[in-house]
Structure 1
C-alpha cells in the first residue's frame, strides 16, 4: 500500500498548511529558521506530506514539496471520488472519523483535512476531527487512516467471497 510514487511536480496540487518560525539556541545565540508543512497530491489518488526547514520561506516550501513528493503513496478510492469504507484512527491527542459520502455532497471537514483530501482527489467525504486540531497531528492521523484503506478485491480474496458481496451490490 505504501508504494513510492514519482511524478513531475508541475502537475501536482501543492498545499502549504502552515509556516512557523522555529529557533535553535546555540552557543552563539538563537538561530531562526522557517518550518513549512506541505501536503502534495496528484488529484488522482496519490498523496504525501512533509516538513521542510530553511532560512527563507521559498526554500523551506521547496524542501517540503520535494520530501512530500518522494513520500507519496497510492490510496484506493471508490470511483475516484470517495472512500470504500469508514475509518477511525487516532494519533496523539487527535482522533479522526473518516466516512464515505454520497456523490455530490462535497468534502465536509475542517480546513486542514479538506486541503489534504482535495490534493488526494476526493470529491465526497465527511471527516470529523475530535480532540486536538493541531495541523501536524490532524494530518498524521488522517494519513494513518488513509494507509489502512484496502481495495475491495483484496478484502474479497482474503474473505473468500465475491467483490459484489464486499461492496454490497
Structure 2
C-alpha cells in the first residue's frame, strides 16, 4: 500500500539517496517581547539498498530545518546486512527508555511495523520484517533505537570471521 504522502515527503537526490520526513516539532521560546518559534525536523535518509541514516535539523523555517536534517542524515549513514529481503536474525535496539524488537519475517510478509520504524526499514530496503516498540514512543527515540538495533546485526559470514571458525 502506497503512502499518500510519498510524493510530498519523499525526495530522491542526485546521488541516489532518498529522504523521508518523519516528524516536525514546533518549539516555542518565550521571551520578553512574546514568543519565538523554531522548528525541528527528523528525517530518514537511505538508498533502499542497505544503507540508512537519520538526521535532525533545527531552524526558524521548516524547509531549512529539513535541509539541515538531510545533510546530517547523510553524514551518519550505516550499512545494514540483509539476507534476501529480510534481516539475518532477531535483534533488540535500545535508546533512552525506548526499545525496539526487530524480527526477520518470511518473504512476502511485508513490513509489520508502525510509524518511524516502517520508514527506517523502507529506506534501508528491508521488505520483510516484524517489529515491536517497547517503552518510549517518541519518534526520535524510536528512530535511534531502531538504528541501534540495525547496527547490532551480523551475518553468518561476519560471525565466522570474528570467531575464526568455519560454519556449515
TM-score (norm 2): 0.85
TM-score (norm 1): 0.85
The aligned residue for residue 75 of structure 1 is: 80
Task: Answer yes or no: is the 8 Å Cα contact 1:18–1:36 preserved in 2.
Answer: yes
Pairing 1:55-74 to 2, within 5 Å after superposition: 55-74=60-79
Q: SS state of the match for residue 89, structure 2?
A: coil
The aligned residue for residue 7 of structure 2 is: none
How big is the alpha-carbon RMSD for the aligned residues of Structure 1 and Structure 2?
Answer: 1.7
Give the distance between the partners of 1:42 and 1:22, measured in 2 at CA.
30
The aligned residue for residue 3 of structure 2 is: none
Give the distance between the partners of 1:26 and 1:146, measured in 2 at CA.
41
1:29: Cα distance to partner?
Answer: 5.0
Structure 1 outlier segments of 4+, above 3 Å: 24-30
Q: Residue 96 of structure 1: which of 70, 86, 100 is its match?
A: 100
Give the distance between the partners of 1:30 and 1:43, measured in 2 at CA.
41
Q: SS state of the match for residue 116, structure 2?
A: helix
1:26: Cα distance to partner?
Answer: 5.0
Q: SS state of the match for residue 161, structure 1?
A: coil
Q: Which runs of 5+ in 2 are unaligned?
A: 1-11
Give the distance between the partners of 1:88 and 1:70, measured in 2 at CA.
24
Greater CA deviation, 17-26 or 113-122? Answer: 17-26
Give the distance between the partners of 2:60 and 2:74, measured in 1 at CA.
21
